[in-house]
Structure 1
Amino acid sequence: MKQAAFVFAVGIVFLFSLADNLCGSTVPPSLPTPTLSPTPLSLCPADAVSDAPTDLFSAINAERTARGLPALAWDADVASVAQERSDDMAALGYFSHTSPTGETAFSLMDARGIPYGWAGENLARNNYPADQQVAVAIQDLMASAPHCDNLLSANYTYLGVGVAQDGAGMVYYTMIFIGPP
């Protein structure tokens, strides 16, 4: 009986050893094991985001001129503030006119000495396909009375736009409108 148990145990060990050799590895030892490096998820191509400020600027001016209002001029200094705001929201994962550190578009413009008499900020975000993002942002802004008022205000003469995308594919739009002091 002891000899039968011993033979049975040796047979089981042999079978497990054989199974391990046949099934234990899916990559032959001669092949290198691939290493994966994490990459952030991106739902829209980089050039879609890089074109978005110009596309959004053009779409805003199209809304204005369709209603008999003058087109806004691009202001690079204001666009720099708008880009900083979008970058901050994308990096820190918030969506607000006030950053977690208390900064606003207006405090940033004041700190940089950007003169304005009138100023307004519109924010939008979405993760629609790249070819729909700007149209969806404009549609949503035009459907909101305070945002539409900023877009169509005769008090503004300049506009700066910033756009940034977070690692999950959410795109943040900041539009800062200013008028003369």
Structure 2
Amino acid sequence: MTKFSPKRSVFRYIISSVLLLVTLGLFGCAAAQTYTVQPGDSLPDIALKYDVTLSDLIAANQDRYPALAVDPENPAPGTELVIPNTGDAGIDKWFGRLAQAASPPITPAPNVPAAPNEKINAVVQLIQRGINHERATRNLPQLVFDARLAEIAQARGNDMIRRAYFSHQDPERDSVVFQDLIRAKQYRFLFAGENIAEIKNQGSLVPTGLTVYARYGASEIANQFVIGWINSAEHRENILNPHFRKTGIALGVAVDGTRIVATQIFSD
């Protein structure tokens, strides 16, 4: 995590490191399923592959392998892990089973306004619910939707789609885009942060003639973003930051539907 402390730390800009790619296509988990750790594996990667949270994966194996909680990035090759079946608990409580191709009807969250596109609106609401669920399990205050932060998040997503890049840094000049935008909006804060993630067509993951946006439902898309962030230590640090009270979430979607970028902005 990079910290910017201009003006003698009166303002603090907290920018997470980038989650390079969230890949769809690895949905669901079976009861009593196991996985043998391969060289180069990390627990966050395994958790993401099987759509479970890192904490659930560690808890399911802690009795046999207590060292996993100490060093989740370097599990010993050959370790046989139990993949937990979370059922309707945890994040799946909010998103439903991932194997469902169609998304359930969405009841608008009281603090999230309607978006022009119903599916995009549904994904945004589900991301916020999932993030707030994770905060609730740690007894942290719920993040309240902030329209100005959502505008900044939308500008970030649209810019990454339009200029075909994926970074907190501007690809053409030495500046942090989020920092520039939040200053330009004259948004007043003491703490602020940003998480980004993308899903895109890749190889054989999406059948010919379909796109990631058309192929997957709102709950599947939202689930991949939330689980990807939760299983990344630096992104999780933003999500569970006790200073944060407000959030704005937006999706940037390529015109051809082959790329979706999610941006979440946080502030106190």
Output the TM-score relative to the length of structure 1: 0.69
Kept in 2: contact 1:49–1:164 (CA 8 A) = no
Alignment of 1:12-23 (within 5 A): none
C-alpha distance in structure 2 between counterparts of 1:87 and 1:98, whole Å? 15
For residue 249 of structure 2, give the secondary structure of its aligned residue in structure 1. Answer: strand
Which of 55, 63, 68 is the aligned partner of 2:134? 63
Q: Once the 2 structures are TM-superposed, how far is the Cα of residue 78 of structure 1 from its aligned partner?
A: 0.8
- Residue 198 of structure 2: aligned partner: 125
Q: Once the 2 structures are TM-superposed, how far is the Cα of residue 109 of structure 1 from its aligned partner?
A: 0.8
C-alpha distance in structure 2 between counterparts of 1:101 and 1:80, whole Å? 22
Comparing 110-119 and 130-139, the one that deviates more: 130-139
Residue identity opposite 2:226 in structure 1: I
Residue identity opposite 1:68 in structure 2: N
Which of 150, 154, 158 is the aligned partner of 1:87? 158
Residue identity opposite 1:114 in structure 2: Y
Alignment of 1:1-181 (within 5 A): 47-102=118-173, 104-127=177-200, 129-130=216-217, 131-166=219-254, 167-179=256-268
C-alpha distance in structure 2 between counterparts of 1:88 and 1:50, whole Å? 19
C-alpha distance in structure 2 between counterparts of 1:62 and 1:96, whole Å? 27
Kept in 2: contact 1:80–1:160 (CA 8 A) = yes
C-alpha distance in structure 2 between counterparts of 1:171 and 1:163, whole Å? 7
Comparing 144-153 and 163-172, the one that deviates more: 163-172
When you count helix as a share of all residues, which structure comes out higher? Answer: 1
Residue identity opposite 1:53 in structure 2: V
CA-based RMSD: 2.0
Q: Once the 2 structures are TM-superposed, how far is the Cα of residue 100 of structure 1 from its aligned partner?
A: 2.7
Residue identity opposite 1:73 in structure 2: V
Residue identity opposite 1:146 in structure 2: E
Residue identity opposite 2:258 in structure 1: G
C-alpha distance in structure 2 between counterparts of 1:58 and 1:177, whole Å? 15
Q: Once the 2 structures are TM-superposed, how far is the Cα of residue 101 of structure 1 from its aligned partner?
A: 4.3
C-alpha distance in structure 1 between counterparts of 2:172 and 2:129, whole Å? 32
Comparing 49-58 and 63-72, the one that deviates more: 49-58
Residue identity opposite 2:232 in structure 1: S
Kept in 2: contact 1:142–1:148 (CA 8 A) = yes
Aligned pair count reads 136
For residue 132 of structure 1, give the secondary structure of its aligned residue in structure 2. Answer: helix
Q: Once the 2 structures are TM-superposed, how far is the Cα of residue 68 of structure 1 from its aligned partner?
A: 1.0
Q: Once the 2 structures are TM-superposed, how far is the Cα of residue 141 of structure 1 from its aligned partner?
A: 0.5
Q: Once the 2 structures are TM-superposed, how far is the Cα of residue 121 of structure 1 from its aligned partner?
A: 0.4
Consecutive unaligned residues of structure 1, counting only runs of 5 or more, are 1-45
Q: Once the 2 structures are TM-superposed, how far is the Cα of residue 133 of structure 1 from its aligned partner?
A: 0.9
C-alpha distance in structure 1 between counterparts of 2:257 and 2:125, whole Å? 23
Aligned-pair identity in percent equals 28
Compare relative contact order (CA 8 Å, sep 6+) and give the higher one, 1 or 2. 1
For residue 77 of structure 1, give the secondary structure of its aligned residue in structure 2. Answer: helix
Q: Once the 2 structures are TM-superposed, how far is the Cα of residue 53 of structure 1 from its aligned partner?
A: 1.7
Kept in 2: contact 1:86–1:172 (CA 8 A) = yes
Kept in 2: contact 1:82–1:175 (CA 8 A) = yes
For residue 124 of structure 2, give the secondary structure of its aligned residue in structure 1. Answer: helix
Residue identity opposite 1:170 in structure 2: R
Residue identity opposite 2:166 in structure 1: F
Q: Once the 2 structures are TM-superposed, how far is the Cα of residue 168 of structure 1 from its aligned partner?
A: 4.2
Larger radius of gyration: 1
C-alpha distance in structure 2 between counterparts of 1:58 and 1:146, whole Å? 20
